[in-house]
Amino acid sequence: GAVVSQHPSWVICKSGTSVKIECRSLDFQATTMFWYRQFPKQSLMLMATSNEGSKATYEQGVEKDKFLINHASLTLSTLTVTSAHPEDSSFYICSARNGGHEQYFGPGTRLTVT
Amino acid sequence: DAKTTQPTSMDCAEGRAANLPCNHSTISGNEYVYWYRQIHSQGPQYIIHGLKNNETNEMASLIITEDRKSSTLILPHATLRDTAVYYCIVRARDDKIIFGKGTRLHILP
C-alpha cells in the first residue's frame, strides 16, 4: 500500500513554455502533498506544501507565480512550471501524507528545458 | 536547516553489515529519527524510524543512543542494490521532511 505515482516520468520542453507534472496517491487519500526539487549531485529541496482545497505554502526563495501548485482533490496534486527556462531543468519529486505522520514519495519527474 | 550530521560517503563490502552513523545533538523530546534512502534517479524510499528505543524491520535496524544525540542505521547483509544515498532526518510527527546532504554508500563487490 501507500503508493504515489507521478506523470510524466520525464519531459522535455522548449524554453518559454509551461509544463504540468501530476502527483497521485493511488491507494490512500492524501490530505497533504509536498513538492521537492533536486539538482544533480544535490539533496532534495522542499519547494512547497499543499493541503487539499487550500493554497500551497511555499518555502522561502521559491517563486509561487512560477511554480503553480494545485491540490484540488485528495488524490491529486499538480505542479505547473510556467515559462520554463533551462535553469528550471531538474528532478521534481512529490510526496504525500494521509493524515498520519508517514510521508510517501513518488518516483520523480525529470524535466529538461531546451 | 538540516538538524543532522552524516559522513559524506562510506564504503562497505558486499555481504558485510553496513553501519551508517548520524549525529543529531539538538534533537527535541518529541522528534523522531527517520532514515530514507535514494537510489540513483528514483524517489526516496522509507527505511525505518524510531523515537528512543532500538527498532528493527525487514530492511534494517536502528540503534539510538540513550541520550538520543546520535544513531546508527545498520543494513545487516549489504548487497549491491543497497548502493544509494542514505538520509538521516529528525522531525516531529507532523513536520515536513527536510533533507540534509546524506551519506553516499558504496557497496563494493
User: What integer is the mean pLDDT of A88-93?
Assistant: 97
A108 chain-B contacts, CB cut-off 8 A: 41-43
Encode pLDDT of B80-94 as tens digits. 999 999 999 999 888
Residue A85 and residue A98 in contact, taking contact as beta carbons nearer than 8 Å: no
pLDDT at residue A77 in the model: 95
Q: Pick from A4, A46, A107: which is nearest to B42 by CB?
A: A107
Encode pLDDT of B18-49 as tens digits. 999 999 999 999 999 999 999 998 999 999 99
What are the distances in angstroms from CA A32 to CA A37, A77, B54, B81?
Answer: 17, 9, 29, 31
Using the structure block, give the residue that is written with the C-alpha cell 525505518.
B48
> Distance from CA of residue A81 to its chain's centroid?
10
Highest mean pLDDT pick, A52-56, A72-76, A98-102, B7-11:
B7-11
Mean of all residue pLDDT scores within chain B: 94
Assess whether pLDDT exceeds 80 at residue B67: yes
ω into A8 cis (within 30 of 0): yes
* Chain B CA closest to residue A106: B43
Assess whether pLDDT exceeds 90 at residue A111: yes
pLDDT at residue B2 in the model: 59
B36 chain-A contacts, CB cut-off 8 A: 105
Assess whether pLDDT exceeds 60 at residue B1: no
Q: Pick from B41, B45, B101: which is nearest to A43 by CB?
A: B101
Residue B37 and residue B45 in contact, taking contact as beta carbons nearer than 8 Å: yes
Assess whether pLDDT exceeds 70 at residue A65: yes
User: What integer is the mean pLDDT of A10-25?
Assistant: 97
What are the distances in angstroms from CA A83 to CA A8, A18, A87, A92, B40?
Answer: 18, 5, 11, 16, 28
